[in-house]
Amino acid sequence: MPIAGGIHAGRAQGQEGQLRATAVVLQRPGESPLAIVSCDVLMFSRDLVDPVVARIEASCKIPAANVLVHATHTHHAPSTMRVHAYGPCEVFCKRLQEGIAQAVAEAQKRLADSEFAFKLGEEKTVGMNSRLLLKDNTIYWVGPRDDAVAPTGPFDPDLPVFVFRSPAGPMQALLFGHSTHSIGTLKGGVRSPAFYGMAAQALESRLGGTVAFLEGASGSTHAYNLSAKDAFDRIQEAVLAAKEQAQPQRVARLASIKRPFVFKVRTFDETAEENAVTSYCAKRIGPAGESVAVVFRQMRKELAPIQGHQRTTWLQAMRIGDVALVGVPAELFTKLGLEIKRRSPFRHTVVAELSNDWIGYLPDREGHRLGGYQVWTGFHSYAEPGTGERVVDEAVRLLKELF
């Protein structure tokens, strides 16, 4: 199976941990349930997710607007869609769809009395802003970075932890979030849920119940500053510390809004795009750079006829008592995720990118101006500038409506 996450299809031998679809279903008596599903894949399109959500609505009687399906963004799982130089593995896609539906159905069967606690924890050392300004005024992607001048954006250390326990004490489920790219395996060269997913599975073994990870706004952050093993250890420690400090929350209301969001495919200057890609690849990658540049060339060729076309995706906001969860269908720059949280009327707001769809990277306007891989035109980045800010505005509107 082609492993997603690189410019060319990756290959793996063996596997560590499990690649899972993990569901938590919440319900108040007499009300419609909410379902949150975390999947250990790079991302998926709504073409894959929408039919499964419809199936869940029909079989589990959970409204489609109340189902959030999220990708943890592991770079070590089989491909689920066309990106860069490879397409979806159809066998794996079907298994993923089955897994999502089965996880929700099984979680719903386990509904039982529950108490909710929450803590906004912190982990400052796992990750950093990775869009580094280099001395030649380009933005770092791959290759040497010994000439880095400064980061070009913020890092978000927030580590929200949702804890659900039975009134008798045992933990039923735990969800945690953090905002760094899910890249890094413990063994190397294997299929893996990456260090976040491995931490979730290790915590599940230690704590019991169900444990799942939600990827925050990490389009501009990576764990360049430490090993995957260190990240795996530190995330577990931070989650456990937050769990112990989690405070009981009154849940007077469960609610969700899921709305269509319309955006446009960007128009682009082919000459400028070609120059930006080829010059960076030649300098930072070397002789192999042309094999990378040709992939971007082909993607732009396929995108050129649809410049300016409209596309429709999903935005979603949920509330669990006084805690809000926002589902964004993109690799959202951290600056924009922080802006959603800053403007939210809720005391605690958690952003889960790569939810319900994938429309590529969503930078802020300043990110577009600075350039770099995340804004080079391709299937990984094709929304017009300003879409990121529009997503923030619409997400805040949904949050205010829920509030």
- Could you give the CA distance from residue 345 to residue 79 in angstroms, rounded to a whole number? 37
Per-residue pLDDT for 223 more than 90? yes
Mean pLDDT computed over 23-46: 97
Model pTM score:
0.97
Per-residue pLDDT for 224 more than 90? yes
CB 139 within 8 A of CB 373: yes
Per-residue pLDDT for 259 more than 90? yes
- Could you give the CA distance from residue 207 to residue 173 in angstroms, rounded to a whole number? 9
- Could you give the CA distance from residue 141 to residue 139 in angstroms, rounded to a whole number? 7
Which helix (DSSP H) or strand (DSSP E) does residue 91 occupy?
helix 90-109
Which helix (DSSP H) or strand (DSSP E) does residue 370 occupy?
helix 365-370
**Contact residues for 31 (Cβ-Cβ < 8 A; gap 6+):** 254
Per-residue pLDDT for 225 more than 90? no
CB 62 within 8 A of CB 31: no
CB 344 within 8 A of CB 396: yes
Residue 324 has φ and ψ, to the nearest 5°, of: -110, 150
> What is the CB neighbour count within 10 angstroms for residue 51?
12
Residue 302 has φ and ψ, to the nearest 5°, of: -75, -30
Residue 300, SS3 per DSSP: helix
pLDDT digits (tens, 9 = 90+) for 264-305: 999 999 999 999 999 999 999 999 999 999 999 999 999 999
pLDDT digits (tens, 9 = 90+) for 134-191: 999 999 999 999 999 999 999 999 999 999 999 998 999 999 999 999 999 999 999 9
